[in-house]
Structure 1
Amino acid sequence: MGVKTISLCMIVKNEEKYLEACLKSVKNKVNEIIIVDTGSQDQTIDIAKENGAKVFSIKWNNDFAAARNFSIKQATMDYILVMDADEYLDENVDLQKVLTSEKDHYSIRIKNELSSGGSIFHPAVRLFKNFIGLQYFGKIHEHLNVDRPTSELSHEFGDVLIHHIGYKDDVVVEKEKHNRNMKILLDEVETNPTGYNLYNLGNQYKANEQHNEALEAYKKAFPLSKDRLYINYLLYNMIDCLRILGRTKEALDVLDASIESFPNHTDFYFMRGRIYEEMAYYKDAEIAYKKCVELGEVKLLQTLDGVGSYLSYIRLGHIYIELGDYSSALDMATAALKSNRYHMPALKMYLELLIRTNVPNVKIKENIKEIFPIASFEDLKHLVIVLSVIKSPLLQEFLDQYNLKVSESVLGISKLYSKNYMESYRIWKGNGLESDEYKDVLLLSFLLKNNDLEYKYKSSLNLSKKEWKLVDKLIYRDKVDLGKISEELEDIIVFISKQLIYLYEDEHFNYLFNIIAKGTSSLKIKFSKMLMETGFTQNAQQVLLDFYVENQTNKEYVELLADTCYKQKQFNEAISFYNRVTELSKDYLSYEKMYRTFEKLNNLEGLKILTEEIKRLFPWALWVKQPKC
């Protein structure tokens, strides 16, 4: 067998930002670097030559396959590895170990990293023997002719991972990939309307958020693609377009058919969970996400990373939070972190739930050491970002402990929530605001009874002149009759109230509490939800009961009151209020909540009657149709 020689073949244009990282990732792993430049005007060629590449230049003619074929024609080694400049080889890859099987070509995994922090995996033939007549075809999304009818080539999946950052939003915008790709794809589909080309056209429309056009392309691609490896993701994207367009019945119909054809493809169950969660059919969503965890990650097909682990755990956590089950939600956040400790939403959920359940900061810090031990600067950076987002008083402790230098923005947050108000004031007095900090600065103004910083946040808030006068009165603790106010001002008042609880500023909180008690039902509902979130369910219930008579026809008000009863294990009272909710509106979630309450009471007769009612009223509910074990 012996050592196999490898040529890295690339086509590039204006890749000075990414090329060096790509070439460094293959250092000592390939024997030859072939770079074909299609018209760079930056330092791309110089960087390539500095890293030992053989550089060739050709004129670009909107044909990726032609450029690829030119590049592989220059290769002189046993095998060819194909990469793009915005990719890099995973440091743990051992190409020689893969090539011991001496296959003609290998499918490897490409990890497409997204701006959201997530990633999508897909397989592609990127490693193959030289001198056996393999060529690329397709002007865009080009691929090798490994499946030609007369081919008897050997193949296997190789243990190779390539990271691709080209789908991150900033890179896509910078390269204007959408416009370039769309033009080529439309020309290609017109001359060669294969399933693969139509599928890629649909993907491009979907990336452009043109979901109707994407759906039509997918529909045309489907009958031509039934035996192709990408069929699962074609169906997944088709369902997602229907979901986004609000065509729920069609989405579920296609989803059911897809699961029947591919019963072990985790992504379809994740999509089912997502659709049902958005409809607040939480029992069905819960079943779907648990099925995802049972099936695990998809290995050899295109897939969304985490559907069989941390993403499903996080979605389950959100469901349990909505249902007020913080203990189960915390279990899910913990499971997600164990599956992927760098998934920021998981760490954020974990820490927020500790705060919501009134765990002392000292204990939270101990939990952090256990669940997220800091072993590198990247770990510390990750933690500081999350602590800043959730506005934790621990942020300042970690900044002090590690003597970290952070932006004035982060410093302003850390000083405010560690109760160093004057230092926070000094920082924001001399600096501009970022993102949503206007709420924090408004909170600071309220705490200091000083509106000096009003000009800092005024442009960020869409309040009327009358409402600005109310804000000033609140800051200076004047007598205030809020009357009917905008949702934005309601949200600000509730935000300030919530932070006052976490800051233990009782006097300031009591002032706002008395103001809110005279406010509208809408404000009381938001305020009561916040009290429940922060562990003050009994107080929330009292607020709602005090004004129940005038709000007994308000469905949201009555349902929230029922939720407070359930949370405090007052199950008979909860049933009474949920019954009232169903009289006001035939809303599915109210029936599901009532069902969960009957379960707590072990009321078998109530469960039987309610099951039949749900079957009759809500045909999309799957769980009531399942046979009981």
Structure 2
Amino acid sequence: MKLSLCMIVKDEAENLPKCLESVRNVVDEIIVLDTGSSDDTIAVAELFGAHVHQMPWPHDFSIARNQALQHTTGDWVLVLDADEVLQPEIIPSLQGAIQHEQILVINLIRHEVGAAQSPYSLVSRLFRRHPAIQFSRPYHAMIDDSVEALVKAEPHWQIAQLEGIAIAHTGYQADVIQQQDKFTKARSMMESFLAQHPDDPYVCSKLGALYIQMGDRDTGIQLLQRGLNVKNNDPATTYELNYHLGSVYAAAQENNQAAHYYQQAIRQPIDAKLKLGAMHNLASLMQNSGELVMAEGLYQQVLQIDPTLVVGHYNLGMTLKHMSRFTEAITHYQQAIQLQPDYAAAHQNLGVVLIKVGKVPEAIAAFQQAIHCYEQQQQLETAEQLRQNLAAMGFQLT
């Protein structure tokens, strides 16, 4: 089976090499549609053997993606953005899956690197090249609408999902000012779509969450509630709607409402990795309200699903510390630090529990490392406050 990589790009010379290197020995052709780059994006793509096409930015992601799709010639199409990388561990199962004659689409789990919440998402980015499969929606463009119609017309087709992380996405680390500009453009595109599709639960979820991010809490809640009130057979969208409502109520410290929506989210029949955001946030609610046993149980479930979730180890450590289970807390602080060595708060709280168990030299070393991390991250007031507190307690720092 011939596999085509299909991309749309603009000013991605910095990100593109890592993305294209990840598929160098996987895809049979690389199709890149440039929408107006002013840097070396085109030259970089050509160095990797890409077939580069160009068009002015159409202010609609689905139009651009469909234009790029027209240039593919493979039996299957893999869609990536420049800030995404195909994970090498997934390649054998990916290559095996596209050999199945009845499979139309293979959904992939994407790791949202740097995301404060919901570290994983499910994306329909690997699909059989078929004339009926097209992207729709001007923002968050996806093939799902056309796939749903095709499967209804030709019910022999199957939708599959690969186990394991397929894509790493680093877009959450973007510059704050660029993000604000991105939010404004996204809102404009999604509002236009919503005007034509007022009861679409997916756009209600995405736009509702965006309103909340931009500070319009009431409109965001109304839109998320509208999405839940629509008959919706997609558990992933239902999860998102409940998750976003849980998060907005949690931010307002309306804990009962928040817990209700997080619990509704967790009940959805989707991959466990995709529920981590709701599970972790519900655990945090339990922790903050003093229900430490319930919080511990939820954090343990979270870490069973993803042992690499740094904040999960840290918060479990905090919970165990409050339960006076200091040795166990030390273990989880250390695991958080092993995964993220510059985690200043983990170093600081590790120091606290090391004092509790009488390991003063190790505690001082942990505090010194915390101060160093705070200073490296330009949190100078926090570093100085910690230094003064330790001095007041009689600890001598070098």
**Residues 105, 126 of structure 2: 8 Å contact kept:** yes
Task: Return closer, same or farther for 1:438/1:224 CA change in 2, 3 Å cut-off.
Answer: closer
Quote the residue 2:148 is aligned against: 147
1:299-318 pair list within 5 angstroms: 311-318=311-318
Higher strand share: 2
**Gap regions ≥5 residues in structure 1:** 299-304, 366-385, 396-408, 411-432, 441-487, 505-629
Matched, 1:48 2:52: no
Alignment of 1:181-580 (within 5 A): 181-193=186-198, 194-224=200-230, 226-228=232-234, 229-258=236-265, 267-278=277-288, 281-282=289-290, 284-294=291-301, 311-333=311-333, 341-342=339-340, 345=343, 348=347, 349-350=349-350, 353-354=353-354, 357-359=357-359, 361=361, 389-391=369-371, 434-436=378-380, 440=384, 494-498=389-393, 500-503=394-397
Retained in 1: the 8 A contact 2:109–2:121?
Answer: yes
Distance 1:154 1:146 in 2: 10
Distance across 2 between alignment mates of 1:132 and 1:289 = 50
Letter in structure 2 aligned against 1:62: H
Mapped contact 1:104–1:155 kept (Cα < 8 A): yes
2:161 corresponding residue in structure 1: 157
CA 1:175 to 1:8, structure 2 compared with 1: closer, same or farther past 3 Å? farther
SS of residue in 2 equivalent to 1:35: strand
Distance 1:287 1:58, change over 3 A: same
Give the distance between the partners of 1:171 and 1:90, measured in 2 at CA.
27
State the 1:289 CA deviation.
Answer: 3.5
Q: What is the rounded CA distance, in whole Å, between the counterparts of 1:88 and 1:309 in structure 2?
A: 19
Conservation of the 8 A alpha-carbon contact between 2:211 and 2:219: yes
Q: Aligned in 2, Cα 1:309/1:178: closer, same or farther, shift over 3 Å?
A: closer
Quick one: higher RCO (CA 8 Å, sep 6+), 1 or 2?
2
Distance 1:39 1:292 in 2: 46
SS of the aligned residue for 1:501 comes to coil
Distance 1:501 1:259, change over 3 A: same
| CA separation of 1:151 and 1:171: change in aligned 2, threshold 3 A | farther
Aligned positions, number:
381
2:108 matched residue in structure 1 = 108
Closer/same/farther in 2, CA of residues 356 and 119 from structure 1, 3 Å limit:
farther
Equivalent residues of 1:286, 1:316 under 8 A apart: no
Across the aligned residues of Structure 1 and Structure 2, the Cα RMSD in angstroms comes to 3.5
Q: Does the 8 Å CA contact 1:201/1:214 hold for their aligned counterparts? A: yes
Contact 1:199 1:218 in 2 (8 A): yes
Identity between Structure 1 and Structure 2 (%): 22
Q: Secondary structure at the match of 1:137?
A: coil
Change (3 A) 1:274 1:347: closer
1:128-171 CA-partner distances (Å, limit 9, x unpaired): 11135211111111111211132422221124611111122427
- SS of match in other structure, 2:395: helix
Deviation at 1:105, TM superposition (A): 1.3
Separation of aligned partners in 2, 1:14 and 1:175: 18
2:4 aligned with 1:7: yes
**SS of residue in 1 equivalent to 2:339:** coil
| Alpha-carbon distance in 1 for matches of 2:14, 2:114 | 18
Counterpart among 50, 62, 66 of residue 65 in structure 1: 62
Quote the Cα distance in structure 1 between the aligned partners of 2:89 and 2:80. 17
Q: Which residue of 2 aligns with 1:609?
A: none
Secondary structure at 1:34 match in 2: strand
- TM-score, normalised to structure 2, is 0.82
Aligned to 1:31: 28
CA distance in 1, matches of 2:176, 2:78: 23
Paired amino acid for 1:170:
D
Q: C-alpha separation between the residues in 2 aligned to 1:246 and 1:364?
A: 35
Looking at structure 2, the residues matched to 259 and 115 of structure 1 have their Cα atoms a distance apart, in angstroms, of: 19
Once residues 378 and 263 of structure 2 are traced to their aligned partners in structure 1, the CA distance between those partners, rounded to angstroms, is 45
- The TM-score normalised by the length of structure 1 is 0.54
Tell me the secondary structure at the aligned position of residue 27 of structure 1. Answer: coil
Shift of 1:353: 3.3
* CA shift for structure 1 position 435: 3.4
Q: Do 2:238 and 2:268's aligned partners in 1 also have CA atoms closer than 8 Å?
A: no
Distance 2:238 2:212 in 1: 16
User: Shift of residue 211 of structure 1?
Assistant: 3.3
Residues 496/64 of structure 1: CA separation in 2 closer, same or farther (3 Å cut) = same
